[in-house]
C-alpha cells in the first residue's frame, strides 16, 4: 500500500516502504557529515573512538564537571559528535561516546539501551554521577536507560537533541523493529511516556528545530516536563554540529541542579529480548 507523500527538505518522497527507507538513507548520505567507511557487519558492538578516552589534562580534571556520555541516532555513529566533543573537551568536560550496533533499526530500542547500560558500567566509576546527551533516536534510547534500566540513580543532567519523544511519521517508512517503536502512539512510546514523570527531578533539556523534516511533526520533540529550547536549524542532521545547538548543550550541562538527587526507583524492565552481542 503506498504511503502518504512525505516532504524532506524540499524533496518529495513517495512510494512504498522500501522506497521511502531508501530515500531516507540517500538523504542522510548527501549531508556533510563524516561517516565511518567500514560496513556495519564488520564492526564490534562497542567501538571506542578518541572521544571515549577521558582527557587527562589537569585543567579538565580540576573543573569538577560531570563526565558526559553522548548517544547517537539512527544510521549514525559516534563520529557525528566530533565537533561537539572537541568543544566540550576544550571547556573542561570529559566526554564518552559509543557506537550502537546495529544502528539501522534492526535492533529494538531496548537492546540499544542495554548496550548503553553496559558501556556506562564498563567505562564510568560506579559511584560517579554523569550527564547524558542523546541525539534523535539516541534520546529515546537514553530515556529507556533512565526510566527502565536504573540510569536515574546516576544521571543528573539529561539533554535530548531533535528526539521523537512523541514519535515521527517518517518511521512509517521502515518495517524494522527500532523504527516501528518510534512511530506515533507506538506501544513502546506510550509505555515510556506513561512514566515520563520519573524524569521530573532531572535537569532535562530538549533542543529541537521547527524545520525538522525527520521528526514529523517537529514539535514531537517537545515535552511538558523538559526545558524546551527551539533553535531554527534547517536540517535534522546539522543539529549536532550547529554552533547554537552546541552552545545550548554547554549551557544545559552547566546549570545548577534543580533538586538534590533523590535516586528515584526505576520501573523494572520486563521486556523479553535477545542478549547483546559480545
| H or E, element range at 51 | none
pLDDT value at residue 20: 43
Contact 155, 202 (CB under 8 A): yes
DSSP category for residue 181: T
- CB atoms near residue 220 (< 10 Å): 21
Output the tens digit of pLDDT for each of the chain's 278 residues. 433 333 334 333 334 444 444 544 444 444 443 333 323 332 333 444 434 444 444 444 456 799 999 999 999 999 999 999 999 999 999 999 999 999 999 999 999 999 999 999 999 999 999 999 999 999 999 999 999 999 999 999 999 999 999 999 999 999 999 999 999 999 999 999 999 999 998 999 999 999 999 999 999 999 999 999 999 999 999 999 999 999 999 999 999 998 655 444 444 443 333 333 22
pLDDT value at residue 274: 30
Contact 178, 166 (CB under 8 A): no
pLDDT value at residue 180: 98
Q: Provide the residue ranges of all domains of the chain, joining segments of one domain with +.
A: 42-254
Q: How far, rounded to the nearest angstrom, does the alpha carbon of residue 22 sit from its chain's CA centroid?
A: 22
Locate the DSSP E strands across the chain: 6-8, 11-13, 68-71, 95-98, 130-135, 155-161, 203-208, 227-230
Residues 153, 149: Cα–Cα separation, whole Å: 10
pLDDT tens digit sequence for 126-180 = 999 999 999 999 999 999 999 999 999 999 999 999 999 999 999 999 999 999 9
| H or E, element range at 43 | none
pLDDT value at residue 246: 98
pLDDT tens digit sequence for 263-273 = 444 444 433 33
Locate 270 and state its grid cell.
520486563
Question: What CATH fold (topology level) applies to the domain 42-254?
Answer: Rossmann fold (3.40.50)
Amino acid at each position: 500500500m503506498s504511503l502518504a507523500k512525505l516532504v524532506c527538505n524540499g524533496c518529495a518522497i513517495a512510494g512504498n516502504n522500501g522506497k521511502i527507507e531508501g530515500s531516507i538513507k540517500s538523504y542522510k548520505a548527501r549531508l556533510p557529515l563524516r561517516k565511518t567507511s567500514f560496513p556495519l557487519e564488520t564492526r564490534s558492538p562497542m567501538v571506542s573512538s578518541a572521544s571515549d578516552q577521558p582527557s587527562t589534562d589537569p585543567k579538565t580534571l580540576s573543573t569538577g564537571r560531570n563526565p558526559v556520555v553522548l548517544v547517537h541516532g539512527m544510521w549514525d555513529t559516534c563520529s557525528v559528535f566530533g565537533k561537539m566533543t572537541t568543544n566540550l573537551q576544550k571547556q573542561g568536560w570529559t566526554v564518552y561516546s559509543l557506537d550502537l550496533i546495529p544502528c539501522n533499526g534492526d535492533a529494538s530500542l531496548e537492546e540499544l539501551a542495554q548496550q548503553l547500560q553496559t558501556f556506562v558500567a564498563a567505562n564510568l566509576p560506579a559511584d560517579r554521577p554523569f550527564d547524558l546527551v542523546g541525539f534523535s533516536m539516541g534520546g529515546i534510547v537514553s530515556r529507556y536507560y533512565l526510566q527502565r534500566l536504573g540510569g536515574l540513580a546516576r544521571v543528573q543532567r539529561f539533554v535530548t537533541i531533535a528526539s521523537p519523544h512523541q514519535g515521527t511519521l517518517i518511521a512509517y517508512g521502515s518495517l524494522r523493529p527500532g523504527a516501528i517503536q518510534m512511530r506515533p502512539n507506538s506501544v513502546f512510546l506510550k509505555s515510556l511516556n506513561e512514566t515520563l514523570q520519573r524524569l521530573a527531578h532531572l535537569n532535562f533539556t530538549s533542543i529541537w528545530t521547527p524545520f525538522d523534516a525527520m521528526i514529523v511533526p517537529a514539535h514531537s520533540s517537545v515535552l511538558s516536563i523538559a526545558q524546551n529550547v527551539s533553535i531554527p536549524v534547517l536540517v535534522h542532521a546539522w543539529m549536532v554540529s550547529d554552533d547554537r545547538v552546541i552552545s545550548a548543550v554547554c549551557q544545559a550541562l552547566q546549570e545548577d541542579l534543580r533538586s538534590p538527587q533523590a535516586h528515584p526507583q526505576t520501573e523494572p524492565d520486563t521486556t523479553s529480548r535477545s542478549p547483546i552481542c559480545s
